[in-house]
Amino acid sequence: MSLGTRIARMSLLIAAMALATVALGWWGVVFAAAAFGLIDRRDGSALDAGIAAGLAWALLLGVAAGRGEVFEVARAVGGAVGIPASALLITAVAFPAALAWSCAAVCRLLRPPAASRPVRSADPTTT
């Protein structure tokens, strides 16, 4: 797979994860990763789903941070539970990445194998 194809594919997956999250919340990551795990037959598909989910959430957090919503909440929640705000932000990116990776990996294992095509003979008289 060429680098350009890989970048385009990952960009579409990031967009799908972000849109699914906006539409469905945390469950959006699960549904998007499950669909990707069932569709993509490559060995690295679960890793791609995890990376895309993490990047999508980082993008969503960046957009929210631009409006000033993220850091105040992270400080308040971090103070309430006794951990730094940065740890909450890292967790907010790591959790959807792990969720998408695990969901895509499980769905990849559960999907039925690809149907094998019968081999055709070059001789037209044999069937």
- b/e burial code for range 64-87 (CB count within 10 A of at least 16 → b): eeeeeebeeebeeebeeeeeebee
Q: Is the pTM of this model over 0.85?
A: no
* Inside any domain, residue 68: yes
**pLDDT tens-digit series, residues 56-67:** 999 999 888 888
pLDDT of residue 65: 87
Domains of the chain: total: 1
* Inside any domain, residue 117: no
* Inside any domain, residue 100: yes
* Inside any domain, residue 12: yes
Rounded average pLDDT over 38-43: 85
Residue 41 belongs to what domain range?
A: 7-110
